Amino acid sequence: MSRSSSRPLRNVLFIMCDQLRADYLSCYGHPRLHTPHIDALAARGMRFRQAYVQGSVCGASRMSIYTGRYVSSHGAMWNFVPLSVGQKTLGEHLRPHGVRCALVGKTHVEPDREGARRLGLDITQGEGRLAMEGGFEPYARDDGIWPPGFKVSGNAYCDWLREHGLVSDNPWHDFANSGRGPQGEILSGWQMRWARSPAAIAEPFSETPYTTDRAIDFMREAGDAPWVLHLSYIKPHWPYVAPAPYHAMYGPADVLPAVRSEAERAGAHPVLEGFRREEASRNFSRDEVRDTVIPTYMGLVRQVDDQLGRLFAFMAEQGLDRETLVIFTSDHGDYLGDHWLGEKELFHDPIVRVPLIVADPRAEADAARGSASDALVECIDILPTVLDALGLAQPAEWLEGETLLPLVHGRGAAAGKDFVVCENSYAFRDAVRLPLGQPVERCHMTMLRTQRWKFVHFEDLPPLLFDLETDPQELTDLGRDPAHAAVRERMLGHMFDWLRARSRFPTIAPAAIEAWNRREREAGILIGAW
């Protein structure tokens, strides 16, 4: 947790996409999907090629990013699991230093209402209210995702659509995330078969430009006071529906072959088999589905890129670029049919490896500017990086990540961490859990990835093991291979070490522990004196 000694920056723009795979950006090597503005950001900063999320679903991953702590440490183990009032978030680290921490877009924070009731906390105002927002000032919060028929009220985006004549109970669904059939009928984005239909909305009214506009509004209003803005796009997360022209920008010819093999399915690990039984996996295993959905997924990514181009131009025009650290990442990826899987939840690279770009405008970053790093880094490193960029202390009792600025400034250890960790639980998925007869308490999964190996630990079941040197596509599971017993033992050893090193004592700072004996003596406490 060494700190940068550079002149502090004034602002941080922390951009996140939802469900964006690292390899669906041209700067990360996609041969057909061109993302020039994100590529330009990478050219202004450092691009991390081995950045890993700490949870493989939105909620858990985001809570790790917002607290700088592993999932086992913050406790919000899956989506819609409340973030305990006992956890300290980015905004709570920043506000005492006079730095605003605002949100535009999605957080997926589930408030700990039970904890608030237990404490008698006033959640209608002040810090209590912000705690229910995961510590963010909700400048323009929009978590999206409403099922058809849901009557949406009190949502700014839906209200804005209605003001512009797009009136229904659920304009998010009926216009922004659905197409129209020949008779004007709604083609719901909740059914992937309609993914090629353009959204029933003009492009400027779709979620990505709306969200970008709110970020620009925020920057205009914020003036010269320091801020951290979390600009958090919902896309390219499903529903897979894009407005014209993005719905038709790519076609089946642009779809890369699925990374999968027949051999993967024979005698597969029972948890993989379970997830392959899910509807999303069954559908994404069909080429028709991939050819329908992936072009639209690509269009949604391209739309984000275009909007970021607009935002970056605004920032340059305002001179904000010189005072602002920019971070770009995603909360996890999307299988899109790789490994005969759809959606997310498991630990192949399409899910757990995410894009991570850090662009520091200061001269200290010039040496490494535009380069890519193969260091193993984690998304819990983002929060320490934000604090470091602003010149703030990094409370070791809370933070489990490390600032990335030494790497960004070309001074860090090229290999990064010995291993990175990602967690999830299949307790929430009946199709996986029930056939295994596992109680919900024993469905936790822990992935460790070193430079060479990826290992996934399950309770009461064999592990998964992939040799990323000889099998970078993760097609051959060595988890039950007798020849790799020693590797598995070593990975279990890492996991044991990792568990013991968790931040379990966040209410006392290391410096206070070190000072204890002196304080005790000064207070006149004499233990065992004769």
Site for its own copies in 250-279 (CB under 8 A): 278-279
Q: Under the criterion CB under 8 A, does residue 489 sit at the interface with its own copies?
A: no
Contact residue for its own copies among 56, 208, 211, 281 (CB under 8 A): 281
Stretch near its own copies under the rule CB under 8 A, chosen from 49-57, 179-187, 473-481, 491-499: 491-499
- H helices of 223-376, in order, are 262-265, 270-277, 279-284, 287-318, 349-352
Using the rule CB under 8 A, which residue among 26, 43, 49, 84 binds its own copies? 84
Q: Which is nearer to its own copies, 108 or 214 (CB)?
A: 108
Which stretch in 33-41, 175-183, 348-356, 496-504 sits in contact with its own copies by CB under 8 A? 496-504
Give residues 222-251 in contact with its own copies (rule: CB under 8 A).
Answer: 238
Considering only residues 188-227, where is the footprint of its own copies by CB under 8 A? 190-193
Does residue number 149 form part of the binding site for its own copies (CB under 8 A)? yes
Q: Tell me how far apart the alpha carbons of residues 305 and 246 are, in angstroms, rounded to a whole number.
A: 11
Which of 14, 157, 250, 284 binds its own copies (CB under 8 A)? It is 284
| Secondary structure class of 382 (helix, strand, coil) | helix
Q: Does 120 bind its own copies (CB under 8 A)?
A: yes
CA distances for 48 relative to 45, 415, 444, angstroms: 10, 11, 28
**131 sits near its own copies (criterion: CB under 8 A):** yes
CB contact at 8 A, 47 and 372: yes
Q: Is the peptide bond before 245 cis (omega within 30 degrees of 0)?
A: yes
Q: How far is the CB of 85 from its own copies (least distance, A)?
A: 6
Q: What is the largest CA-CA distance in the chain?
A: 95
Identified binder of its own copies from the candidate list 253, 266, 414, 525, rule CB under 8 A: 525
Among 113-121, 205-213, 250-258, 324-332, the segment contacting its own copies (CB under 8 A): 113-121
Can residue 526 be called a binding residue for its own copies (CB under 8 A)?
A: yes
Integer Cα distance of 263 and 266 in angstroms: 5
What b-and-e string marks burial along 340-370, b requiring 16 or more CB atoms within 10 Å of the CB?
bbbbbbbbbbbbbbbbbbbbbbbebbeebbe
The one among 430, 460, 471, 481 contacting its own copies by CB under 8 A: 430
Q: Which is nearer to its own copies, 118 or 411 (CB)?
A: 118
Which one, of 317, 168, 280, 227, lies nearest residue 11 by Cα?
227
Task: Please state the closest distance from residue 489 (CB atom) to its own copies, in A.
Answer: 11
Residues 378-417 contacting its own copies, CB under 8 A? 396
Alpha-carbon distance of 336 to 300, in angstroms, equals: 14
Exposed, middle or buried by CB within 10 Å (0-12, 13-18, 19+), for 290?
A: buried
Cβ 283 to its own copies shortest distance, Å = 5
Output the smallest distance, CB 92 to its own copies, in A: 5
* Choice among 58, 158, 379, 422 that is catalytic: 58
Is residue 178 involved in binding its own copies (CB under 8 A)?
Answer: no
State how far the alpha carbon of 465 is from the alpha carbons of 100, 427, 472, 478, in Å: 43, 22, 12, 5
Q: Is 175 in the site for its own copies (CB under 8 A)?
A: no
Q: How far is the CB of 328 from its own copies (least distance, A)?
A: 26
363 lines the binding site for its own copies (CB under 8 A): no
Q: What angle, rounded to 10 degrees, do the helices at 207-222 and 156-163 form?
A: 110
And the tokens for 329? 């990442």
Nearer to its own copies, 284 or 466 (CB): 284
Among 114, 159, 185, 481, binds its own copies (CB under 8 A): 114
97 forms part of the interface with its own copies (CB under 8 A):
no
In the window 449-478, what residues touch its own copies (CB under 8 A)? 459
Residue 363 or 499: the one with the smaller Cβ distance to its own copies is: 499
- 106 lies in the binding site for its own copies (CB under 8 A): no
For this structure, is 379 an active site residue? no
445-448 LR contacts (CB < 8 Å, sep 24+):
445/271, 445/346, 445/347, 446/421, 446/422, 446/495, 447/56, 447/347, 447/352, 447/421, 447/422, 447/423, 448/419, 448/420, 448/421, 448/491, 448/494, 448/495, 448/498
Stretch that binds its own copies, among 42-50, 75-83, 410-418, 482-490 (CB under 8 A): 75-83
- Closer CB to its own copies, 76 or 478, in the complex: 76
Q: Hey, which bits of 300-406 come out as E strands?
A: 324-330, 353-359, 372-373, 377-378
86 sits near its own copies (criterion: CB under 8 A) = yes
The DSSP secondary-structure symbol of 173 reads: I
Instruction: Verify binding: residue 339, its own copies, rule CB under 8 A.
Output: no
Task: Copy the structure tokens of residue 252.
Answer: 């089946």
Instruction: Give catalytic residues, as residue numbers.
Output: 58
